[in-house]
Amino acid sequence: MNAPMPNENSSSRLRLEQARRLLALAQTGLHYTTGVFDKERYEEIAAIAHAQIAEIASMRTDKVTELFAFEEGYANPKLDVRCAVFDEAGQILLVREAADGHWSLPGGWADVGLSPAENAAKEVREESGYTVEIVRLLAAWDTAKHPHPPSVFHIWKLVFLGEIVRAGEVIGVETDAVGFFSLDALPSLSLGRIMPQQIERLDELRRSGEIDFD
């Protein structure tokens, strides 16, 4: 989902951030410009940014262009909505991502037409089978400020606290296993989506009643 890339040094991360910013400026320029020549210039800038991202990510340029093909209008970060659900023993609900075989909190890109909280509840129901009541927001994080593997997208992550109402059947296709795990025995995590220290922080937040934000 997040199009993660291999671990990079600080220089590569800076180059990636600059390329994403360049691409955002080109996308916004294409949205507002009415001039033919300006449109050509912005398209050229976008192509340069695609090539830079492809080089850093060790991807083909056409694949990067394909990832951004539907990114139109004023450029904004993408919104990833997740839900942290704990059982009575303090274990956390995780789902295994079919895309990479690693585990994460239920969640994904926010859908148009639903509030962030409604998105979180929907993702839990589809990916784990559990219907939950959303209690409150736990965290609002900018993934660029956390040690996730670099992503071609700039992502903001909202994590809500959910309480189980009832169990049901998994109806989504993006996950292939569900389980509750002790925080000191977490499975292999999909690090582009969630990191062990973030799960520990979410447990602290649900106990303290606080909200964490970048």
The confidence score (pLDDT) of residue 9 equals: 64
Place of tokens 């839990």: 124
Q: Which two tokens stand for residue 88?
A: 């009575």
User: What pLDDT is attached to residue 6?
Assistant: 44
CA–CA separation, 122 vs 107, rounded Å? 8
The dihedral formed by the CA atoms of 75, 198, 158 and 101, expressed in degrees to the nearest 10: 80
Q: Could you give all domains of the chain from N- to C-terminal order, each with its CATH number? A: 10-67 (no CATH), 78-213 (3.90.79.10)
Tens digit of each residue's pLDDT, the chain (214 residues): 444 444 446 788 788 888 888 888 888 998 889 999 898 998 999 899 888 888 887 888 888 888 787 788 877 899 999 999 999 999 999 999 999 999 999 999 999 899 999 999 999 999 999 999 999 999 999 998 999 987 888 899 999 999 999 998 888 888 999 999 999 999 999 999 999 999 999 999 999 999 999 9
Question: pTM for this structure?
Answer: 0.77
Give Cα 4 to chain centroid, integer Å: 10
